[in-house]
Amino acid sequence: MNPRTLLWLVPCLIVWAVLPFVVPRNIADLLVFTGIYTVAGLGIGLLLGHCGIVNLAQATFYGLGAYASAYCTVMMGLPSIVGFLAGAAISMALAYVIGRPILRLTGYFLALGTLALSAIASALFFEWDWLTGGTLGIGGIPKLDLFGFLLDRPSRYYFFVWIVAFACMAVAHNLIDSRTGLMLRAMRDSSTAAAALSIDLQALRTKVFVVCALFGSLAGSLFAHHASFVSTQSFTVDRSISFLLIPVIGGATSIPGIVVGALFVTFLPELLSKLGDIHQILFGLALVAVVVLMPEGLVGAFAKLRTRFARKGGSHG
């Protein structure tokens, strides 16, 4: 690692490490949610930014993860890790089975396909209340216990969530930077030409969809152990839509963009709600402002600003 990277990485790490101890508990709580949303958003970002696929089904996998954790721990009394694994396994299996046929669609047809998937899942979450607790949900999910260290408050859970988030970011980064990533972007830009170069579009899309589902499910399990409570309201189509906002706001092709997007959707409503009942109007307008002023996402806008500065600096020096 070169010294320049260290120069900004070390302060960042320090800020990250002390943050939960200096902010009030409710902010720490939001930071935990940011981490959870980052994990879920990463999957959508991979699909959107690198495959050009609009995935409106992330709430489904998020829900599967959450319910798996809730059911395993509360109803069956199993250790939490089983919930994580079961959620991941079920989500990935479902993504594979459903993904094979659905991912033959392209563009908006695929978007509608995933939307339909989300609607089906959300109806089933309502319907199978023996499993999900229906509208009333499942409460009393235990906090995570890491080798005797109970992650029972946001400032502790924060570290766990963000370490998972960083791991997911690293994995996503690896993927983008790999041979697979190359093929993904080729497929996004021209599927006709990608096919001619022997890229198996269908298989590739399915694989990424499965990775996206894995992230969704992980986020869901993390959420379940944080909120201690899960119910159908958290896994509706609306939630799928709000997950989609994360990469779009931040910039779908960039990994830091996902974090920025997650920060945006967790903190902005909180800040705006201080302004009274108009906060939802303002949130909508904030979205509008972001796209109108920065169509390439917050991170894209930032990068542009930096190059502009760099050029200005260059012409002076």
Partner 1 sequence: MTLSLVLQALFAGVTNGIVYALVGMGLSAIFKGSRVINAMQGEFAVIGAMTTVLLLTKAGWPYAAAIAGGAIAGALVGAFIEVAFVRFMAKKNASEDSFLLLTIGLALSLSASILYFVGRDGHLLPPLGGEGVLIVMDAVIQFHALWLIAIGIGATLALRAFYHRTTIGLSMMAASIDADGAATTGINVARMRTFTFVLGGLLGALGGILVTPLIAVDYQLGLNLTLKGFAAAVLGGLTNPLGAAVGGITLGLVESLAIIGISSSYKDVVAFSVLIVIMILMPQGILGRAGRRGG
Partner 2 sequence: MAEPLLALREVGHSFGGLSVLRSVTFDVPEGGIIGLIGPNGSGKTTLFNIVTGYIRPLAGTITYRGAPLVRETIQQRGLQGLVRTFQTPQVFEQMTVLENVMVGCTKLTRTTMLQDLLRTPAARGQMREIRARAEAACERFGLTALRELPAASLTAGQRRILEIARAVIGEPRLLLLDEPSSGLNVQEIDGLREWIVRLNEEGITILLVSHDMGLMTVARTVHTLYFGEIIASGDMAAIQRDPRVREVYLGV
Partner 3 sequence: QTSGEAIKIGAIVSVTGAGAGLGVPERNGLLLAEKDINAKGGIKGRPIKIIVEDDASNPDTALSKANDLIFGQKVQALLGPSLTASTVAVGGVTHANKIPQIAFTGIGPAVERDRKCVAHVLPPQRLNATALLEYAKSIKATKIGVLHDAGYGNVVMAELKPLADKYGVKLVAVEKFEIGATDTTTQAAKVKAAQPEAVFIIATSATPFRNVKQIQITQPVIAAIGSSSYEYVNAMGPAADNIVIPEFVVGEDPLPHQKAFVELYKQAYNSTPKNYEAAAWDAAHIIAAALNKAGADATGEKLCEAMKAPYAGVLANYDFSADDMTGIPITSFVFSKLVGGKYTRTPFRVAQ
Residues that bind partner 2 (CB under 8 A): 171, 174-175, 177-183, 185-186, 188-190, 192-201, 207, 211
Q: Which of 131, 268, 296, 303 binds partner 1 (CB under 8 A)?
A: 296
CA gap 296, 250 in Å, rounded: 8
Contact map string, positions 107 to 146, toward partner 3, x by CB under 8 A: ----------------x--xx-x---xxxxxxxx------
131 binds, among partner 1, partner 3, partner 2, none (CB under 5 to 8 A by kind): none
Minimum Å distance from CB 264 to partner 1?
Answer: 11
| Residue nearer to partner 2 on the CB measure, 179 or 316 | 179
Instruction: Considering only residues 188 through 227, tell me which ones interact with partner 3, judged by CB under 8 A.
Output: 223, 227
30 binds partner 3 (CB under 8 A): yes
Contact map string, positions 188 to 207, toward partner 1, x by CB under 8 A: ----x---------------
Count of residues in contact with partner 3, rule CB under 8 A: 34
| Residue nearer to partner 3 on the CB measure, 184 or 224 | 224
DSSP per-residue codes, the chain: --HHHHHHHHHHHHHHHHHHHHS-HHHHHHHHHHHHHHHHHHHHHIIIIIH------HHHHHHHHHHHHHIIIIIS---HHHHHHHHHHHHHHHHHHHHHHHTTS-HHHHHHHHHHHHHHHHHHHHH-HHHH-GGG-EE-PPPPEETTEE--SHHHHHHHHHHHHHHHHHHHHHHHTSHHHHHHHHHHH-HHHHHHTT--HHHHHHHHHHHHHHHHHHHHHHHHHHHSEE-GGGGSHHHHHHHHHHHHHH-TT-HHHHHHHHHHHHHHHHHHHTT-TTHHHHHHHHHHHHHHH-TTHHHHHHHHHHHHHHHHHHHH-
30 binds, among partner 2, partner 3, partner 1, none (CB under 5 to 8 A by kind): partner 3
| Residue nearer to partner 2 on the CB measure, 175 or 222 | 175
269 binds, among partner 3, partner 2, partner 1, none (CB under 5 to 8 A by kind): partner 3
CA gap 304, 306 in Å, rounded: 5
292 binds partner 1 (CB under 8 A): yes
104 binds, among partner 3, partner 1, partner 2, none (CB under 5 to 8 A by kind): partner 1
116 binds partner 1 (CB under 8 A): yes
| Residue nearer to partner 3 on the CB measure, 230 or 258 | 230
Three-class secondary structure assignment of 17-86: HHHHHHCCHHHHHHHHHHHHHHHHHHHHHHHHHHHCCCCCCHHHHHHHHHHHHHHHHHHCCCCHHHHHHH
Cα separation of the two ends of the chain: 28
75 binds partner 3 (CB under 8 A): no
Instruction: Considering only residues 71 through 110, tell me which ones interact with partner 1, judged by CB under 8 A.
Output: 101-102, 104-106, 108-109
Mention every residue, 6+ apart, whose C-beta is less than 8 A from residue 124. Answer: none
301 binds partner 1 (CB under 8 A): no
291 binds, among partner 3, partner 1, partner 2, none (CB under 5 to 8 A by kind): partner 1
Q: Which of 171, 241, 268, 303 binds partner 1 (CB under 8 A)?
A: 241
Which residue ranges make up the site for partner 3 (CB under 8 A)? 24-26, 29-30, 33, 123, 126-127, 129, 133-140, 152, 154, 223, 227-229, 231-234, 269-270, 273, 277, 279-280
